[in-house]
Structure formats: C-alpha cells, structure tokens
Chains A and B, each alone.
Chain A
Amino acid sequence: MNKFKETMFKSITYVASLFTILALFGIIFSLFSEGIPILKIINFKDFLGSTAWHPTSNPPDFGILALIIGSLVVTVGALVISIPLGLGSAIYISEIAGQRTKEIIKPIIELLAGIPSVVYGLFGMAFLSPFLIKVFGIPTGLNALSASIILGIMVVPIISSMSEDALSTVPKSLREASLALGANRWETIMRVVLPAARSGVLGSIILGFGRAIGETMVVIMVAGGAAQIPSSLFEPVRPMTAAIASEMGETAFGSPHFHALFGIAVVLFFITFITNLITEFVFRKKRNQT
C-alpha cells in the first residue's frame, strides 16, 4: 500500500512536468499548423520580403517586411533608452550607492516592473502623445518615438536587475587590485568591473530585446498602426504584435488573413526563441566559469 502511494505521488509529479513540455509543443504546433498555410497563398520570399501589407483589400497583400521593421525600430529605440538607464542604475546600485540609497532605488525599479503594460499604454496614449505633439509640433504623437520611450522604460527593470546580478558576481579582489594599482573608482568600473561582467550584461540586453519585441499592448496603443517603413521616428509604425492583436478579432477562422497573422506569430516566436537561446548560452557559459 505504501509503495503504491509512493509510486502514485512520483507519477503525479512526473505527469505535471510532462504537461510543461506538452504546453510548449502545443504552442509550437498550433502556431505552425495555422501559420504554414499562408505559404500556399504567398511564397516565403514575398511573405518576409514584401512591404505590401493590405490584408483586407482585393486581392489582398500579405508582405510583412514593414511589420518586422516596425518591430525592430521600436525595439532598438527602446534599447537606446533602456541600456543607459538600466545599466546605469545597475552600476550605481552595485558599485557606488550606499546601503540606504540601494534600499530606495531597488524598490523603484521593482515597481516599474510590476506595472501592467496596458496602463503604460494608457499613459502613452493619453499623456505622452499629446505632450510630444506640443513639444515637437508634430501631427501625431502616436508614433515610433513614443512607443520606443514607453517600451524603453518597461525594459529598464530587466536590464537593471540582470546586469546588477552580473556585476555582483565580479570578485571583490579584482576591484581591490585595480584600486591598489592607483586606478580611481570610475576607471575601475569602466576597465575592470564592466569587462569582467560583460557576458551577463550582454545577456540582460538580449533579454530586454526579446521582451520589447514581444510586447503587445503598448505598441498597439501607442505606435500609431501604419504598416509602413518609417522615414523618421515621428512616423507611425505597425509592429508585428500590434498587427496580430488588432487584426485577429476581425478575421474569419481559417481565412488567408487568419493564417497570415499566425505566420507573423511564427516569425515572432522564432525571434524570441533565438534571443532566449542566446541568453541561455551566455548565462550557462558564465555559470561554468565560476
């Protein structure tokens, strides 16, 4: 009887673990089985390489290049903002701040991480966008710039917390050696600590990239929604996630448009999967070193 209970319990935990793998396969399978059929309508090269996204015209065009570029523009824009802010905070917290300052800064950054993305979207639409119109005298405040700003702030906690972890694993003796050789604190940070933590810092940036490119609510609300290759940051864009989220509600199940949106999701999944793989690789390498 007791043996039976032991085996039962072990089996339950085994099945639960199996479920996680099943969920991942389910996601991959459903994305591919609904996404691949778009290639019967448009060939692979045109799907990825054409900028004509007119899914509801007759005949429809399903080129997603403009959407991919839209995603890349806001994501790179977000990193331009979040790398100095996030890495800067991490360096300050780990290398310069005293215990009390740390206890003030860290909750602020944790708080940023906890804010739901739709609230960021609301802030972007109702506050930031009118503000940008006033400051820059532009016709619309819903554009690549405002999406980059909001996404950038959202990514700060990711870069900050993971970079801080990386910086804190740099042995104290390295810093002391550098200071003993006459380098000042800033020189020690720039030439000793940061280079020693570079793989972890890089990992945090890649993770931030993956998070920003997959973010949906902010870009659907703030990026403006035009499926075009923008000529400046003040123009609206339509990132991949925004196209999926805003158009899926109006497509018929199984229609070419429906499959095209799943096709975009496959591309998005690939991008985040690869960024994940790189981060995983970077951090595993680091673990092996220590």
Chain B
Amino acid sequence: MMTKREFKQFLGVNALRLFIAITAMFLILFLYVIFSKGGKMVTWSFLTESPRKFMTEGGIFPAIVGTFWLTVISIAIALPLGVFTAIYMVNYAKPAWFVKAVRIAVNTLAGVPSIIYGLFGMAVFVQLLRMDVSILAGSFTLAILALPVIINASEEALRSVPHDFREASMALGATERQTILRVILPTALPNILTGTIISIGRVAGETAPILFTAATFYTRHLPNSVMDEVMALPYHIYALMTEGAHADKQVPIAYGTAVVLLALVLIVSTVAIIIRYKIRKNRKW
C-alpha cells in the first residue's frame, strides 16, 4: 500500500513523464506529417526546375538559389562584424561603459521580433539607401538579425580560451594583435564556427525579415545580380499557402518545399552538433 506522500510522488513524476511524452509525440507527428506529405514531392526535377503555371506545377529551383544567396551573403556580412565585436568585448574591453552599451545593444537586438527587422530593412535598406527589394537589402536585414547570435557565440568561444595561451604568447614577445590573430582566434575558431552554423540554420528559415526586403512570389528567372528580387524557400511556403487560387495543387508543393527547407536546416544543425562533439572530445586543456 502506498502512503499519501508516496502517491503524490507517483502522480507528480508521471505527470512530468506525460509532459515529455506529449512534447515528443508532437514532434514525431509533426515530422511524420511533413515528410509523409512532402517527401513524395521531392524529386530531382522538383529540385532543379522552375515553377510553372502560377506555382501549380514545376519545381522550386529559384527558391533554393535565392535562399542560398541570402544566407551566404548575410553570413558573410555578419560573421566578420560579429567576430570583431566579440574580440573587442573580450580582449580590449575598454572603456567599460562602451562595453556595457554594446552588451545592452546585443541583448536588445536578440529579443527584437523578426518582423521588426523586416520593417527596419524596408525603411533603411529598401527605401533610404535605395537598394529596392533585392538580395542585397534582404541580406543586410538578415545579417543584423544573425549578428547577436554570432557575437554571443564568438564571445563565449573567445572566453573559453585559457588565459595561459595568451600569457605564453605575450611572454614570447608577440603583440596584442598577433596574440589575438595567431593564438586566441585559431583556438576559438571551431566554437565560433559552431555558433555560425547555428545562425545559418536560423537565417535560412526566416520569413518575416525578407517579406518586404527581398522576396518575390513568382519568378521563372534566376537572379542576375544582388540587386534582383528573389524567391526563397520559407517565403515560398508562405506564398503557396496564402496566395493563389489552386489550394489543391499548391499545398502539396508547399509540403515538398517544407521538406527541402527542413532537411536543409536539420543537416546544418546536425553538422554543428557533430563539430561541437568533436571539439569537446579533442580538447586537451
């Protein structure tokens, strides 16, 4: 016979198990629905052809290309900015009030809703700087969104480099800059890359920031330059679900696109997890 206290414990612990089971079942159901409905759509021609007949037929190649360029350019902008900022915060860190101001800015930026980035990008890059709706405007917008993630990851990576490394390098007569560039940064690099890869996954999946800065619903052409507007995988899903008149034909394409986007994001984050695992295993300090 259980006492009242034991019974309470029994109920409580099993309630926790139930909560976890619900979460896990949702994920399984979610992945099952997406992959079972979208998986059969993903054929070679789906990946390599342009859409036809107002999105009711054909493939998603222009959207793949668009997402590729948006992601690559935005990371190319955000990565150096983020790493340099982190170097400043960790290695120079003076004056203190400025470091504090940067930290507040980073934390605030991290909490800003993505649609607000979209509005900012529209007001500043599209309108004020006259980039129009283009890959460039969208990439700048996404870069600012990725910046706080990259700064935080880089800062953490730089701080995890043992102090001895720095002191040993300085004792050998290396300058501050040489120490940072040849000792600290290379040591921290794998961890910085992990953080960057995570932000790649996030940038590739964002829709709201590119709604008014880069994305277009339908084009058969691939972009000629960074000043062109593009299709993008996440926006393509949204457009297929909310525009057009042939839901019966558009929904399956949306599922297919979701499989491609999801596979992309999952592959990217798996790579990040593997790298992180290897670093932890090989670390000798």
Contact = CB atoms under 8 A, between A and B. Distances in A.
Interface of A: 2, 5-6, 9-10, 12-17, 19-21, 23-24, 26-27, 30-31, 34, 84-85, 88-89, 91-92, 96, 105, 107-112, 114-123, 125-127, 153, 156, 184-187, 189-190, 207, 210, 213-217, 220-221, 241, 244-245, 248-249, 253, 261-262, 265, 268-269, 272-273, 275-276, 280
Most buried by B among A107, A125, A210: A125
A210 B26 CA distance: 23
A244 B115 contact: yes
Contact of A126 (B17, B116, B148, B255): B255
A186 B13 contact: yes
Nearest to B8: A186
A206 B77 CA distance: 31
A145 to B, nearest CB: 15
A221 B124 contact: no
A220 B211 CA distance: 12
Nearest to B23: A85
B208 A13 contact: no
Closest 9 CB pairs of A and B: A214-B113, A116-B205, A88-B19, A16-B84, A186-B9, A13-B88, A276-B111, A30-B123, A216-B208
Contacts of A110: 269, 273
Contacts of A6: 175-177
B261 A119 contact: yes
Interface in B81-121: 81-82, 84-85, 87-89, 91-92, 98, 101-102, 105-120
B112 A27 contact: yes
A89 B16 CA distance: 7
Contacts of A5: 175, 177
Contacts of A30: 119-120, 123-124
Nearest to B90: A13
A91 B87 contact: no
Contacts of B17: 92
Contacts of A275: 111
A153 B26 contact: yes
B62 interface: no
A32 to B, nearest CB: 11
B151 interface: yes
Interface of B: 5-6, 8-9, 12-13, 15-20, 22-24, 26-27, 30, 33-34, 37, 80-82, 84-85, 87-89, 91-92, 98, 101-102, 105-120, 122-124, 127, 144, 147-148, 151, 175-177, 180-181, 201, 204-208, 211-212, 234-235, 237-238, 241-242, 251, 254-255, 258, 261-262, 265-266, 269, 273
A96 B9 CA distance: 12
A124 B238 CA distance: 12
Nearest to A215: B113
Contact of A272 (B6, B87, B111, B266): B111
Nearest to A97: B20
A189 B12 contact: yes
Contact of B12 (A123, A190, A207, A210): A190
Contact of B20 (A89, A117, A189): A89
B106 A20 contact: yes
A2 B175 contact: yes
A217 B115 CA distance: 9
18 contacts: A9-B177, A12-B84, A17-B102, A20-B106, A20-B147, A23-B147, A89-B16, A89-B20, A92-B17, A107-B273, A108-B24, A112-B23, A117-B205, A153-B23, A185-B13, A213-B113, A220-B238, A248-B211
